[in-house]
Amino acid sequence: MTRQPDMRGRTIRPHAELNLSAQYAAVRAQSLKLCEPLETEDYGVQPMADASPPKWHLAHTTWFFETFVLKQAQDNYQPFNRHFEHLFNSYYNGVGTPYPRHQRGFLSRPTVAEIVDYRERVDEGIQRLLGSCDDGQLVERIAMGLQHEQQHQELLLTDIKYNFGHNPLYPEYGGYVTAHPHVPTRTNFAEYAGGLVEVGADKGFCFDNEQPQHDVLLYPFKLADRLVTNAEYAAFIADGGYQTPQWWLSEGWSVVQQQAWKAPLYWSFMDGQWMEYRLDGLYPIVESLPVVHVSGHEAFAFAAWSNARLPTEFEWEHVAASRAIDGTFVESTAFHPQALSRQTPDIQQLFGDVWQWTSSSYGPYPGYQPLPGTLGEYNGKFMSSQLVLRGGSCATPQAHVRASYRNFFYPPDRWQFSGIRLAKDA
């Protein structure tokens, strides 16, 4: 059964009990806080085409509020800099021609100081608007802009890590890991009966790709009680995982050959041992930590080698929907997935630590309707050739995550904090 949402149901809605002005100030301040460990030289580096320089993230999130809120609220609005309308447009063709993504790192100007001034100018405008605005649509757009900025805070960390992790100096950004001597030696699978279950969001914050809420049929399945560890993934490598085509999908095997993959991103074999770059530096791999920075292709291959499979996004959501959103999030300042202190009979690590690859293609739900106008480009235009990931990561704000949240990346992508949970047919 598919439930058709009304117009408000297809937009992101602020929690009524929160002071949106205070929430706005807190989210915007967090972006700058994440940049505190950086030097000026770090702000302009674009380490690859899919990543962006830190100063671009700071400017683009500001451009979003200026373009979709302030310009809509004031007929005679004067932009901070009319060239920013082109420079910091990401992919919204409905409001202009975006600056080429792969060239963002070419921009030595505007300076970091100018971008900070830009943020302050727009912040003042938004706060004035919040003090007097009775336009519900604009308030919803501000709330959506905050969710958008939280997404870019996560991208900010992943892009900084890609920069630092490919620097021979292996610079330290910050963070820590909590290691435990106990390394799980077996995976326990909890069994679920399946049946007709409800998925999707119908209240609180939600993006259009999480709606409409609808029913899906699940066959009986089993879900692993924890994430895959570094020790388990190292065993896959030692068993010739990257040299054995039978474990890989055809496209994945081609990528392995073309990119010469031998291990997860940020793993290097040095002096007879596997080393891993984390945001707190370069260290020998800690066996009890969840494996992270693996692609969808690697997740599929590891699952096949393990005589298991990846869960569907709906199996994952069905299990997670009744669980508390608890785990390692960006607020911990760990900036790396953490080890379990003990293994229990219950499902653990559903939220936080690593985004979990699913076997589900990213596409629209039955009855899906994108947001009206240009904001309809936010999610719907990307519903092609990508996989859904669930659960959030150690770089995700905790309040940003919910059981219905659908992240999506291409199968070869692995610079995100992505990991693996196994599933089986019952």
Tell me the pLDDT tens digit for each residue of 20-66: 999 999 999 999 999 999 999 999 999 999 999 999 999 999 999 99
Buried b (16+ CB within 10 A) or exposed e, 198-232: ebbbeeebbbbbbbbbbebebeebbbbbbbbbbbb
- CB-based burial label for 388 (10 Å; 0-12, 13-18, 19+): buried
Q: pLDDT tier at 377 (50, 70, 90 boundaries)? A: low
Task: Give the separation between CA 231 and CA 286, rounded to whole angstroms.
Answer: 8
Q: What is the pLDDT of residue 405?
A: 97
As assigned by CATH, the class of the 189-425 domain is alpha beta
Is 8-165 a CATH 1.20.120 domain?
yes
Q: Is the pLDDT of residue 12 over 60?
A: no
Percent of the chain with pLDDT over 70: 95
Q: What is the mean pLDDT of residues 323-342?
A: 94
CA distance linking residue 207 with residue 144, whole number of Å: 8
Instruction: Write out the H or E segment, with its range, that includes residue 358.
Output: strand 355-361
Same fold, 8-165 and 189-425: no
Helix (H), strand (E) at residue 161 = helix 136-165
Percentage, residues of the chain above pLDDT 90: 81
Q: Domain segments of the chain: what residues?
A: 8-165, 189-425
The pLDDT-based confidence of 184 (bands split at 50, 70, 90) is confident
Scanning 194-331, the segments in alpha helix (DSSP H) are 230-238, 250-259, 296-305, 313-320
CB 391 within 8 A of CB 413: no
Residue 65's nearest CA partner among 167, 134, 144, 168 is 144
- In the chain, the amino acid numbered 238 is A
